[in-house]
Amino acid sequence: MVKDLLKNYANIKNFDDFPIPLRIIATNLNTGETKAFSKGDISKILVASMAIPTIFEPVEIDGNTYVDGLVSRNLPVEEAYDMGADLVVASDIGAPIVKKDNYNILSVLNQISTIQSSNITKVSREKASILISPDVKDISAIDSSKKNDLINLGKVAAEQQIAKIKELPKSSSNRKIVKNIEDKKEKFVINKIEYNKKFDNTTIEILDNTFKNLLNKPISEKDIENTITEVYNLKYMDKVYYTINDNVLYLDGEKAHSNRIGVGANYQTGYGTTFNIGTDLFFNGKFGNNINLNFKFGDYLGLDLGTLTYHSIKNRFGILTNIGYNESPFFLYDNRKKIAKFMNREAYLNVGIFTQPSNNSMISYGIISKFSNLKQDTGGNLSRNLEYSENQTKTYLRFKYDNLDSISNPMKGIKADLIYNFAGSFGKSKSNLYGPAYSIKGYVPINPKSSFIYGLNLASLRGDRIRADQRIRLGGIYTNINDNEFEFYGFNYQEKQVKDLISLTLGFKHKIVYSLYFNTKFNIATFTENNPLENNNSRLWKNYSKGVGVSISYDSPIGPIEFSISSDLKHRKPIGSISIGYKLD
């Protein structure tokens, strides 16, 4: 996006050649010194100047690592004088130090940053000839929804100094204005690709394989940006920069870390609390291997070791495996009242083959073998006959597609998960389960802040001995197709157990302010009920259940937080639900 904004100035390497001489400030992370860039790739330097520590990755330029200039020089008055200025008009938008009554760990860190920045800025403020100080203390630096308010506050602050500004002498500079490259052709031809000399052979091979389709034909910068997105989807590069000169595309960038560690926490009403610690290890190239280890603890335990071993860079194909242990709850309801809780404990092995036709899609075929044990935790003796221990195995064919623009609060794109289970089993207790399960959810933008939501779930389950916790379960605010769990606003989590299901969801999503979203959904479902209590009152295409819900969701530093209220339109008894953090099951 930065590259696109500055495309008219792409060929200007010396910042003194701009219509107004320019310096871009960043902080050398190794030395703590301020760096005033006067030449180079302006897009890359701007990204470094905006790399707020702990939020954005540092940027490497000429062997040095840089972060946001605010760390060392939030008001670069001295650099303006170094350029030859006689008088400097400075605009200080740094946050003032404000007394607070209560502190938590985040507000303490924010206050420390404010104090440090204020002390650094104090000297620069004193050196400015005229100081403009907009009153922005009540607006977050990352709140893009208040841009008009910021403009008005800046206008008010400037008008307070307008008399002093008018007293400044008029410039007598006869400086030549450099013409913008506005007449640059939409299409151009790249005949050669060159890479940063620090790139190893594997990096060059991966990039060359991805970018070679751009050679020797008319392309636009949009084509280059789309190709860079493909590289990011490979998870091999963290950053890619490019410049074009004399039909040569020069590529620079930074490789992704080969090992990543993540921590997650999740609380859901009706489910409980879990914490996750996970690590990914990437070995990329034409022959690659991704290893994932995830540990779950809290109300339920789990440990999963997964691998993807593949060949090729595009159109990957290879072998996938998962081995692990997992605990999950099963709830039994009677007339909307929870009457029993069970715990399912299972050890499993999944082996399959897969192919990725694109970075957004995956087709897999495999075999899953499980040893499952279901034990009752709470409830009466009537439901104890649902307990079991047995081996199960099944084969499956699965297709996944995901091009959503966000994991937690998407506003555009589609996510589809389609699986068909073929059954087989072994051991003393046999259970043949087979059937399809499909889940599709999409977001269609109406305007920059609003989207239309649609969703479709279909599932069918057949077999000669279907266990209680293996049935299709309907209710709650999340879909987990692996466990045959489907969302439905108006039902409690796992409230309905069915063997045939068709449900449709329509909704609306609106971004209220930065990271805060309002959602409303209507869903309708028809299903054949199949619960252990044999009070089956619903039949597919004969009976319909309808529900509505509203929710507020927020992208917080600890993950997405969602509070929802829903009700089915028959009983009209509201159900409140809270979800905090990422659910990584």
CATH class of 2-167: alpha beta
The answer to whether the pTM exceeds 0.85 is no
Strands (E), 231-315: 237-245, 248-255, 259-268, 272-283, 287-298, 302-311
Structure tokens at 192: 């050669």
CATH class of 188-255: alpha beta
What is the structure's pLDDT at 1?
61
Residue 251 dihedral angles phi and psi, to the nearest 5°: -110, 135
What is the structure's pLDDT at 184?
42
Residue 292 dihedral angles phi and psi, to the nearest 5°: -125, 130
* CA of residue 223 relative to chain centroid, distance: 23
Nearest of 527, 537, 473 to residue 504 by alpha carbon: 527
Cβ–Cβ < 8 Å for 495, 472: no
Q: Is the model more confident about 316 or about 189?
A: 189
CATH class of 260-584: mainly beta
In the predicted structure, residue 475 carries a pLDDT above the cut 80 = yes
* Mean pLDDT within 261-274: 78
* CA of residue 496 relative to chain centroid, distance: 31
Confidence of residue 429 (pLDDT cuts 50, 70, 90): very low
Cα 101 to Cα 220: distance, rounded to the nearest angstrom = 55
What is the structure's pLDDT at 33?
85
**How many helices (DSSP H) and strands (DSSP E) are in the chain?**
8, 30
83-126 tens-digit pLDDT: 888 788 888 876 665 666 665 555 555 655 566 556 556 677 77
* Mean pLDDT within 439-455: 95
* CA of residue 47 relative to chain centroid, distance: 20
Strand 248-255, strand 192-195: pairing: parallel
In the predicted structure, residue 487 carries a pLDDT above the cut 90 = yes
* Max intra-chain CA distance, the chain: 96
Task: Work out the burial of residue 297: count CB atoms within 10 Å of its CB; fewer than 13 is exposed, 13-18 middle, 19 or more buried.
Answer: middle
Question: 3-class SS at 382?
Answer: helix
Q: Is the model more confident about 423 or about 107?
A: 423
What is the structure's pLDDT at 555?
83
Structure tokens at 84: 């030859």
Structure tokens at 214: 């751009």
Strand 485-486, strand 472-474: pairing: parallel
In the predicted structure, residue 259 carries a pLDDT above the cut 80 = no
Residues 143, 145, 150: CA angle, nearest 5 degrees:
80
DSSP 180-244: P-TT--S-EEB-EEEE-TT--HHHHHHHHHHHGGGBTSEE-HHHHHHHHHHHHHTTSEEEEEEEE
In this chain, the answer to whether the domains covering 2-167 and 260-584 adopt an identical fold is: no
Q: Is the model more confident about 283 or about 277?
A: 277
DSSP 39-99: BS-HHHHHHHHT--TTTS--EEETTEEEEEGGGT-SS-HHHHHHTT-SS-EEE--PPPP--
Residues 449, 455, 458: CA angle, nearest 5 degrees:
170
Compute the residue count for the chain: 585
Strands (E), 357-492: 361-378, 388-402, 413-424, 433-447, 450-460, 462-463, 472-474, 485-486
Q: Where are the domains of the chain?
A: 2-167, 188-255, 260-584
* Mean pLDDT within 39-59: 83
* H helix or E strand, kind and range, residue 24: strand 24-28
